[in-house]
Structure 1
């Protein structure tokens, strides 16, 4: 049930923008004014952060003012988001399956996997390293998205160094939604310049044996 943390008696006869100032300038604010200005009904959806809820908004102008009907559609939106996420994951799984069966070489297979991650997960870029066990070094085999080269500083990463090497050493994923400020991201200027927000890196383990890192 929707709770505005105000009783109806507190709202009757009051200016809605005074009572809910955080709505000023929002989509609801614009739609309400459009309905009155154009004298036509409007219908839109709004996410309201203070309540962490989605609302279906229907506004109907009249000579006396504006009638507004709100419906909490949060559960529906969450179900839709969950369905989209499952569909994206399924498509990625299908692409990875094709890559592993149709790729001519390991590098070709991993390149297709990286491309699938960028395409289906909206990643800025994706890279795959394999472990050179003799030298204890991760070697970059595939890179897709905004960076496609496999040479340079990230071409060979010693296990235990930098964020990728630490993922391999610890055999644990590293996830962050704050790349800028993350102590494991060494080049903070690059992160700021490119607008990097989130990072996800995972160790690749087969039969309890580390074979690489994806991130």
Structure 2
């Protein structure tokens, strides 16, 4: 199978960081979202960014910016749907999503998700560690986009409720020194992320 397209989910409201875009916070010599782009780029065919509001704030990345296609703040599934619609226009069969505030996710995320979906015989694959499921890191087939749109319009908001209704494969990743899907939600998390970078 051809490499899937990548979609970075940056649509969160960042309430615990006082609002604004967590991905635009500095981490080392760059921004958190630049770390995400750098990790995802070699694993996918091309990348888009799901974000709402003024797209110009992400112009420096040189990526297409996809707003949610379902009104209201519907959470990560809205970003998944926007990515699936974009992928359908490009003739792709799958996307892989990554969160914009998770700078240290695995460099083998995409091949591991693809392998899990094939081995376990499910259309959707999510990342998992000993800390639980990480539903913003997943493999999503374009064929399910109309089903997802209907679910969102019907009030579905929880990622795992929708994925479980279709069968979900899991790609398991070791945590090691820290969970690779550690994300920046609070100022304390940002300090921890900077500490990880300094120690690496």
Class of the TM-score when normalised by the shorter of the 2 chains? under 0.3
Using CA pairs below 8 Å that are at least 6 residues apart, which structure has the higher relative contact order?
2
TM-score with structure 2 length normalisation?
0.26
TM-score with structure 1 length normalisation?
0.24
Structure possessing the higher radius of gyration over alpha carbons: 1
